[in-house]
Structure 1
């Protein structure tokens, strides 16, 4: 069986590690020094990797995970602060919206293995996972209200469908941590594994799927996801408008300034 591994560097030191085995392409978010937080370069790298996997006739399934102790700490808040305050900030080629476009359009099975903490897009990406595995020690958080912003990635539409309205409301409103067992109980993830078993178990299921005809896998996914596309597009439009209204506002600037200064934000009167 053909297998290889390569490391693609898009903007040093940001990398996505890519390996192929048995028609499964594994993508590892590899910015462990920043807990795999997405800056513009990592958004671009992940978008390009997903698009390449979608177009590769030898790839049947994609498995996405993170390097180190985090899956992803979400959007890089230090860069987000610069983006909000520096009019000369240069955005990436694809950015956050490009990654979500790639996830919406990804035609093949996407398996996510949450190996550690997942915040923001590190949690909401599960709305696009066809199967999600999670380490028993991992935790998830949707920190939008603690940042003074709105939901993202159609999570206001996908999460209620995935876990029910009240669990989704708690995740999106509270900005509190969700444990692996809570995520399993609410249906946010499909399996919880011991940390040392996570990738092996996720790969085992990915390779089982990859033995099926790719055209069949694509057809099954399309018939399941096509009815959701209109709702996803509408939710993204609502979320993006709300996010644009709130980003750079008093609560958001207070949250980002507090993060940069290493203190808790003070939302008194907001």
Structure 2
């Protein structure tokens, strides 16, 4: 099992549960989380979803070993939803989504915050958008959502540099709403989620839909551009060097690229 699902006070907690892989997303986990969001959206007993992770990571992003297989093995079987289907489910999810970033967050472990309505972060957690260090393009409409969330220059630094962002930096940027001590994180996030869940679902949905409506065209356009750039770069020289270096346990060498 790669995803734990629990319910309390109309809050459904979805916990990424691949701790040995730092909760990195393989095709199985993409499918499981997409299905869970679709199910939660349709369940009248669920008012709010709280997303977190087990172990020392929120999510290390895409499983790079599996990504290497996808890039080099034409027979690899993709999931039913995969990454695109998860982003579809996040974009369509019309109930409040609360994220509790318990540890390291890379790639989708950071860009998912663009779809969060409230984000809490452990004081010891760190975030990174590693796209340029992998020789690929942004994802999950982050090229559109992050500048709106944190401002153009902070977003540019995150997306261009592939450097770590601390919890305090994330709070200053507005990438997260609250920073908590590690032992307090989940309880604090759940407490706020329960406040939202005490409100009528119809009103919660109406508020979220009206807030998102002006953004939907921008999200769709960004995803189209990102997907085209990602398809062009994935499997290219820089991406293959990054993935090979990861598999071999060495630093990538982008000299001349």
Q: TM-score range by the shorter chain?
A: over 0.9
Q: Pick from 66, 70, 93: which aligns with 1:79?
A: 66
Give the superposition deviation at 1:176. Answer: 0.1
1:52 is aligned to 39
Cα separation, 1, equivalents of 2:164 and 2:182: 18
Cα separation, 1, equivalents of 2:42 and 2:10: 13
Give the superposition deviation at 1:236. Answer: 0.1
Give the superposition deviation at 1:240. Answer: 0.2
Q: CA RMSD in A?
A: 0.4
Q: Aligned to 1:74, what secondary structure does the other structure show? A: coil
Give the superposition deviation at 1:20. Answer: 0.3
CA deviation profile, 1:104-138 (whole Å, cap 9, x unmatched): 00010000000000000000000000000000000
Cα separation, 1, equivalents of 2:160 and 2:112: 17
Cα separation, 2, equivalents of 1:43 and 1:36: 11
1:4 is aligned to none
Q: Pick from 137, 153, 157: which aligns with 2:124?
A: 137
- Structure 1 gap segments, 5+ residues each: 1-8, 10-14
CA deviation profile, 1:21-61 (whole Å, cap 9, x unmatched): 00000000000010000000000000000110000000000
Matches within 5 A, 1:1-270: 9=1, 15-270=2-257
Give the superposition deviation at 1:91. Answer: 0.3
Q: Aligned to 1:185, what secondary structure does the other structure show? A: helix
CA deviation profile, 1:145-187 (whole Å, cap 9, x unmatched): 0000000000000000000000000000000000000000000
- Structure 2 gap segments, 5+ residues each: none
TM-score (norm 2): 1.00
